[in-house]
Amino acid sequence: MNQKFKIFLQHHPFQGSRNHLQNTGEFFSLVQQCATLAVLLEVSGYPKPGNVHRTRDTPKTRYEHFLAGAVAISPSVGNAALSGYRIYLGEINIKEASVGQHILRAVIDTSNWQLGGNVNLGTILLFIPLAVAAGMAHPCGKIVSSKLRENVRKVMENTTANDTLAVYEAIGIANPGGLGKVEKYDVTNEVSKSLIRAKGVTLQDVFRISAGWDNISKEWVTGMEITFEVGYPAFLRVYNEFRDVNTATVHTFLEILSKNPDSLIQRKMSKEKALEISKAAEEILKQGGLMSEKGRAMCWKLDEKLHRFKGKLNPGTTADLTASSIFVALLEGFRF
């Protein structure tokens, strides 16, 4: 028997393999539930200016499509957590976590469950390494954000070319808007795939190229700096102050947006337009956000303005980062 597995059983309050398996299964279910709830809270937050939310659909993508996506990713998140736990036990090494395959499976499941297009690729790219990192934490112990971040850094630093190719396939299925082209390892170029395999290009290698203009890529090369240093603390701070989870969600979104111009808007429109919207988010928060009459009015007004552009001014990356921030809080034990 694996030594770490023996230690697990010795310290667990219920002895025996059946109880161990039950506890482990409950732990993986917990990670899945946290992921699903994080997505549901993020998409339900209203009004998140420019995004689909519980009172706002777009012509092609409805609120219900995001609900379906939240359910669809659950099995892949659970399997990613299982990979993390197998790393903890020493059954596999961290390069065998199959991060890319878990991401691909989550994207396939999402596309099978709804017809509203890409509703969660960015979220999946953040949630899967977080789930592996959670699985690497001792299932008997409490997950703390500092340890979770330490683990997720390791996960992101130890992917393989196979992970990269799986994520390229996932991107092809999700078909995210405004992707554009790059000179090196272009996701839309078949030749790039041969180079990735030949050179052993990892996900972090690829994301490092695009980190300057894409905030999901930036998360991959900074150990999820925006999630852990901006979004997650903002979510807890606002909830503790106002005791309203919708206010916490929207204010987290606005705080992330105010400090990090949305990269989806930059790709679809321009950096200048993204900066303009970030300034608007900052001003809403200065006026009290949802907790003041003026702030609420400004928030609704910005939501209306952005939706007039029919998806071109959609801060979708900010929504993904809001979801990952809530996911971290839930994994750490936040309840409302």
43, 65, 233 from 60: Cα distances, Å: 16, 10, 33
Percentage with pLDDT > 70 across the chain: 89
Q: What is the pLDDT of residue 136?
A: 95
pLDDT over 80 at 259, yes or no: yes
CB 166 within 8 A of CB 104: yes
- The packing angle between helices 121-136 and 161-174, to 10°, is 140
Q: What angle do CA 220, 204, 315 make, to 5 degrees?
A: 40
- Secondary structure of residue 43 in the 3-state scheme: helix
Distance CA 248, CA 246 (A): 5
Query: What confidence tier does 6 reach under pLDDT thresholds 50, 70, 90?
Result: very low
How confident is the model over 107-119, as a mean pLDDT?
97
pLDDT in tens, 142-191: 899 999 999 999 999 999 999 999 999 999 999 886 555 556 777 667 78
How confident is the model over 205-220, as a mean pLDDT?
95
pLDDT over 60 at 40, yes or no: yes
Which residue type is seen at 208?
R
Question: Residue 64 sits in which domain range?
Answer: 3-332
Percentage with pLDDT > 90 across the chain: 82
DSSP assignments along 40-52, one per residue = HHHHH-TT-TTS-
Locate 172 and state its tokens. 């092809």
Q: pTM of the predicted model, to two decimals? A: 0.92
- Secondary structure of residue 118 in the 3-state scheme: coil
How confident is the model over 279-298, as a mean pLDDT?
98
Choice between 101 and 184, residue whose per-residue pLDDT is larger: 101
Q: What is the pLDDT of residue 141?
A: 67
Q: What is the pLDDT of residue 190?
A: 75
Q: What angle do CA 191, 119, 164 make, to 5 degrees?
A: 30
Q: What is the pLDDT of residue 301?
A: 98
Least confident segment among 142-146, 173-177, 197-201, 205-209: 173-177
Q: Before 47, cis peptide (omega within 30)?
A: yes
CB 103 within 8 A of CB 171: no
How confident is the model over 28-39, as a mean pLDDT?
96
Q: What is the pLDDT of residue 252?
A: 98
Q: What is the pLDDT of residue 256?
A: 98
**Mean pLDDT, rounded, of the chain:** 91
If one counts the domains in the chain, the total is 1
Q: What is the pLDDT of residue 183?
A: 60
pLDDT in tens, 236-253: 999 999 999 999 999 999
Least confident segment among 27-36, 117-126, 140-149, 239-248: 140-149
Query: What confidence tier does 9 reach under pLDDT thresholds 50, 70, 90?
Result: very low
Q: What angle do CA 151, 154, 158 make, to 5 degrees?
A: 145
Query: What confidence tier does 84 reach under pLDDT thresholds 50, 70, 90?
Result: very high
